[in-house]
Copies of this chain bind each other. A is one copy, B any other.
Amino acid sequence: MFNNITIVGVGLISGSFALAMKKHGFVKNVIGVSRTKASEIKALELGLIDEALPLEEAIKKSDLIYVAIPVDATVPIMQQIMDALADNQIVVDAGSTKFVLCEAIKNHPKRKQFVATHPMWGTEYSGPEAAVHNAFAGRACVICDKEKSDKNIVAKVEKIYTTLGMNLVYMEAAAHDMHAAYVSHISHITSFALANTVLEKEKEEDAIFQLAGGGFESTVRLAKSNPAMWAPIFMQNRENVLDVLNEHISQLRKFKSALEKENMEFLNELMQNANKIKRIIK
């Protein structure tokens, strides 16, 4: 489908995207753009990319440019990419926040060549080594403000994501950020905070190491995530994140109150309500 694509950032998402694009025959040549030489070399070694180029040269050669870097860096680089865009080129981003970016470029003359997407897949790892084969499958991919992009371009992007096995969901950028705060961003904050809690309270690291079972590991797993990626997400989406974080603190205070008052009935009620999540998450 494409002769050349560029991935901007050569990490978990972009690297896995490049692997999947190759596997499904969507592209012949993948160009990598990275801030660091070390990442370029690693991405070449791992076969995520075929060549590494500076951004400007990469743009010139590419049919599609896929941006997956920290969301604060996405805004200025997207401006730069769109300014350099020829008529037939496509730009897609994969960031976890959408409103700030979509606002920033909403009046750009090349706006129709851009598709705002959020493939809701990831792991707690980052960098080229984190890229894996067969990523994305079975997960949701949100496409935002679809009507602001060219129809044929959107169709191509939809074709890519559905071929990768993703379920397409359409939202406005602002709605996306609100929902993402609820079902993704807050999970990361609770996990980071849980790790800090345990590191603060449990001075015997041996005990954590020896005793931690599957439950602890699954709730704390996201605390290994990269701050350079997540700090800008939380900051760009701070109003939604604060809203849900306040609610979360108030829910924890209910548990605290039930325990302080030894109110077994209230404690049971809180947990029975939480059990309703079974309806939604299998």
Contacts and interface: CB of A to CB of B under 8 A. Distances in A.
Interface of A: 120-123, 139-140, 142, 167, 169, 179-180, 182-184, 186-202, 204-205, 207-225, 227-228, 230-231, 234-235, 238, 241-249, 251-256, 259-260, 262, 264, 267-268, 270-281
A217 to B, nearest CB: 6
A192 B142 CA distance: 27
Contact of A252 (B123, B180, B219, B252): B252
Interface of A, helix, strand, loop or mixed by DSSP: helix
Given A208-B182, A213-B120, A195 B260 contact: no
A246 to B, nearest CB: 7
Contact of A215 (B188, B201, B204, B256): B188
A238 B270 CA distance: 16
A183 B216 contact: yes
Q: Which of A198, A217, A277 has the most CB of B within 10 A?
A: A277
Nearest to A213: B120
13 contacts: A140-B213, A183-B202, A191-B215, A195-B273, A199-B276, A212-B280, A223-B274, A224-B275, A227-B272, A228-B268, A231-B264, A231-B268, A234-B255
A196 B267 CA distance: 12
